[in-house]
Amino acid sequence: MDTRVPQLSSAPLIDPFARAISYLRVSVTDRCDFRCVYCMSENMTFLPKADLLTLEELDRLCSRFVAMGVQKLRITGGEPLVRKGILTFFRAMSRHLDSGALQELTLTTNGSQLRKHAAELAECGVRRINVSLDTLDDAKFADITRWGRLAQVLDGITAAKEAGLRVKINAVALKGFNEDEQFSLTDWCAREGHDLTWIEVMPMGDLGNENRLDQYWALSDLRARYAQRFTVTDLPERTGGPARYVRLEETGQKIGFITPLTHNFCESCNRVRLTCTGELYMCLGQEDMADLRAPLRSGPDDAALEQAIRNAIARKPKGHDFDYSRQSVSGQMSRHMSHTGG
């Protein structure tokens, strides 16, 4: 029997379709102080804290990905800033920014905890953040988030700006909910200096009373509305994620569209998603995942962990199966959005 210890490799992560994996999204908690209707149930059963990777384990795991070519690290949840001690993890990851191995450390947040943490995030090397915000109407915000307070979020965004963080607003396009706010939200972002990205609602989680087909608002329609009011120019740029961008020439604004349904973006997918329990999902729209917690906890050597990562990337599919055609929801994922961190 060959008892030699495998050597660690810095060879890049390449999937079966020749896509280099350079973007890791990491959920550090499944918990959140909101209950957004498209993300989780109102009465969620959260994981026992003992099931979560420790901050030290998250450091080790993310550092192994960085050593294998990941250049962008996005921290998500749940709400990442509700995890106790999470700034310790951001400080640890900042060493990879200092070394040049990591190009960007960022996060997606609901904004509720930004007043408390924005300045320290900036000190850790975070330069831009995504804030999920679907409406500027107090009543509608309380309705869609169930537990949220709009004023707290807007104050958090102000704190982020004061700390020098660039803010991008992510808004889920929901028919019958924020259709009438397309331009008011756009105008507000223009006044505040925020970029804006619209996201099609995805068929994930136990739908319960929430009918995704009824909620679905195709971004092709939203883009057409922009074109009626503005000169819309397609932009070639990418930020490492799935968004495609346009510029509204009259305002100079950059507007993003994440369209997993009307325009499948899988051909350029360079990312994988790690859950707070160490599950690696190679595709948001597929159920296949790899358990990285077991090799992580099998011992201090990273060889088994690296091999598990490479084996997982070798299974990354060409694309997802989300589909709203024929007036039915196809390719629906049973897990909630909060499970894989958006």
Q: Which stretch of DSSP H or E encloses residue 195?
A: strand 195-200
| pLDDT tens track for 175-198 | 999 999 999 999 999 999 999 999
Region 122-139: mean pLDDT is 97
10 occurs within a structural domain: no
Residues 208, 211: Cα–Cα separation, whole Å: 8
State yes or no: pLDDT of 286 exceeds 80.
no
Provide the pLDDT for residue 260: 66
Which among 126, 247, 151, 120 has a CA at the least distance from the CA of 196?
Answer: 247
Share of the chain above pLDDT 70, in %: 85
Provide the pLDDT for residue 269: 85
32 occurs within a structural domain: yes
For strands 289-291 and 104-109, give the pairing. Answer: unpaired
Which among 89, 61, 17 has a CA at the least distance from the CA of 290?
Answer: 61
17 occurs within a structural domain: no
Provide the pLDDT for residue 341: 57
Provide the pLDDT for residue 267: 74
Residue 33's pLDDT band (cuts 50, 70, 90): confident
State yes or no: pLDDT of 21 exceeds 60.
yes
Total count of domains within the chain:
1
State yes or no: pLDDT of 49 exceeds 90.
no
Residues 71, 24: Cα–Cα separation, whole Å: 8
Residue 322's pLDDT band (cuts 50, 70, 90): very low
2 occurs within a structural domain: no
The distance from CA 335 to its chain's CA centroid, rounded to whole angstroms, is: 15
Round the average pLDDT of the chain to a whole number and report it: 87
16 occurs within a structural domain: no
Angle at 76 between CA 160 and CA 12, to 5 degrees: 115
162 occurs within a structural domain: yes
State yes or no: pLDDT of 61 exceeds 50.
yes
State yes or no: pLDDT of 323 exceeds 50.
no
Residue 335's pLDDT band (cuts 50, 70, 90): very low
- CATH, residue 316: 3.20.20.70
6 occurs within a structural domain: no
Residue 268's pLDDT band (cuts 50, 70, 90): confident
Look up the domain containing 79 and give its range. 23-323+331-340
Residue 333's pLDDT band (cuts 50, 70, 90): very low
Residue 334's pLDDT band (cuts 50, 70, 90): very low
DSSP letter string over 277-313?
A: TSEEES-TTS--EEE-HHHHHS-S-SHHHHHHHHHHH
308 occurs within a structural domain: yes
